[in-house]
Amino acid sequence: MRRLGNKRRTVPTTRKHDTGTDTVHSHSDGHGHGHGHVISTGPGTDPAGRRPSAARRTARLLAVALTALASAVPAHASEAPAPRTPAPVPTVSESEAADTLGTGQPRPPGWRSQDSGVTVRLRGLAAVDRRTAWAAGSRGTVLRTTDGGAHWRTVSPPGTADLEFRDIEAFDARRAVVLAIGEGEASRMLRTDDGGATWTEVFRNTDPRAFYDCVAFFDDRRGLAMSDPVDGKYRIVSTRDGGRSWRVLPDAGMPPALPGEAGFAASGQCLVTSGSRDVWLATGGGARARVLRSTDRGHTWRATELSLPAGDPARGVFALAFRDSDSDSSDRERDRDRDRGRDRDRDRAQGIAVGGDYRTGQPSPDAAATTRDGGRSWRSADRPPPAYRSGAVWLPAPWAHRVGSRHAALAVGPTGTDLTTDGGRTWRPMGTGSYDTVDCAPDGGCWASGEKGRVARLTR
């Protein structure tokens, strides 16, 4: 296991009549008074009920016409009705104009720093929603916000100052599981059910050969954690009760590890899930970078090689991000495939892998890859991030709409953040701040965290 150092615009509206016309017309005398009522006693009769002669009817009609004509002509110019004010022309606000950057394309989002109140490195991060997030890091530190990051509160477990928390999984504002890394008993997991007021140790590794790196959940009950290889194979522990208890899974379905191969506890993203059964494991340190995939909650695995830098203990795949195919499928397609009894998500889950060489100043070419078939095959990015990246996340629907793409994702690392809008094929710089990990909630709440207590929230 590698520790990685200290490891109102107004719009005119219309009303439709039953006749199908689109505009309501009103009549006015030019002074704001409407002529709105007429007394009728029946056609061809006077108010006393007598029928007038033809001559009298003609004279009356002529008088009415002359009166109407006179009233329509103003006595002088000042009585003329004011000219009609044209409808307002839609305008673009300054912020909207800036968002296009003169290119017609939406402006990329950016990070807004928040005060975490700590100076330790924060490699574990879990975004629950726009108001709630958790972070974890060195010296047994756990933080929580329930107001969108305006305030971060320390909720660290007591007596854990010697532990290195590298991953945290949160189910809501009250329940979370945090993972400490290290050899032997340094690898532990603790759970809280009251927002960090109290913690319970739920797992302690007793095998000195094991070194746990990451933990991931399928839902609020089922989850897995992974260790570096023991006896030549990665070790997987499983929970069915939300992390309250854990058991080691048999390793018969796990392929052998490569010599020197292990996971990186850099961002809590070396083990990730999507859906109810699929899970992926990122590796490095071996002769080739690989991703292992399981479709049965960790019982059996298959390995696929990637072109990310490898062949050195400091190189490999550091983070994975997956999403199911629902984001790209119509309801009709999903219903059709469900009727055929096929698990379409497993064959079409989209994934991103990032990594490289974590050593400062070392080049990291080809440090990103993508898959569109659930990890069966991988393709190198046509234009990868310019340097090592340790964290990645798909942007949820609110952000994908703002950046103009359903295929948007972020990658973060010590030298900056990159954005892709084409599913990971090409990346462009979004900022230079140093972050180790990144996470987003479905409602659009996104955070990044890293060294010196750095925490930031994604904004426009």
Report pLDDT for 400.
86
CA 429 to chain centre: 18
CA separation for the pair 187, 189 (Å, rounded):
7
Tokens of 396: 């949820």
Tokens of 330: 């119509």
CA separation for the pair 249, 291 (Å, rounded):
19
Report pLDDT for 90.
31
CA distances from 49 to 29, 38, 46, 52, 67 (A): 31, 17, 5, 9, 24
* Strand order through the sheet with 350-357: 315-323, 350-357, 368-371, 379-380
Report pLDDT for 447.
98
Per-residue b or e along 54-90, where b marks 16 or more CB atoms closer than 10 Å to that residue's CB: eeeeeeeeeeeeeeeeeeeeeeeeeeeeeeeeeeeee
Per-residue pLDDT of the chain (460 residues; tens, 9 = 90+): 444 544 333 333 333 333 333 333 333 333 333 333 333 334 343 333 334 444 455 455 455 444 444 444 443 333 333 333 333 333 223 233 333 333 456 667 999 999 999 999 999 999 999 999 999 999 999 999 999 999 999 999 999 999 999 999 999 999 999 999 999 999 999 999 999 999 999 999 999 999 999 999 999 999 999 999 999 999 999 999 999 999 999 999 999 999 999 999 999 999 999 999 999 999 999 999 999 999 999 999 999 999 999 999 999 999 999 998 655 444 444 444 444 444 544 567 999 999 999 999 999 999 999 999 999 999 999 999 999 999 999 999 999 888 999 999 999 999 999 999 999 999 999 999 999 999 999 999 999 999 999 999 999 8
Looking at the chain, how many residues does it have?
460
Report pLDDT for 81.
36
Total-model pTM? 0.76
Angle (nearest 5°) at CA 106 between 102 and 107: 80
- Close Cβ partners of 129 (under 8 Å, ≥ 6 residues apart): 441, 442, 443, 445
Report pLDDT for 384.
98
Angle (nearest 5°) at CA 208 between 203 and 211: 65
Report pLDDT for 324.
82
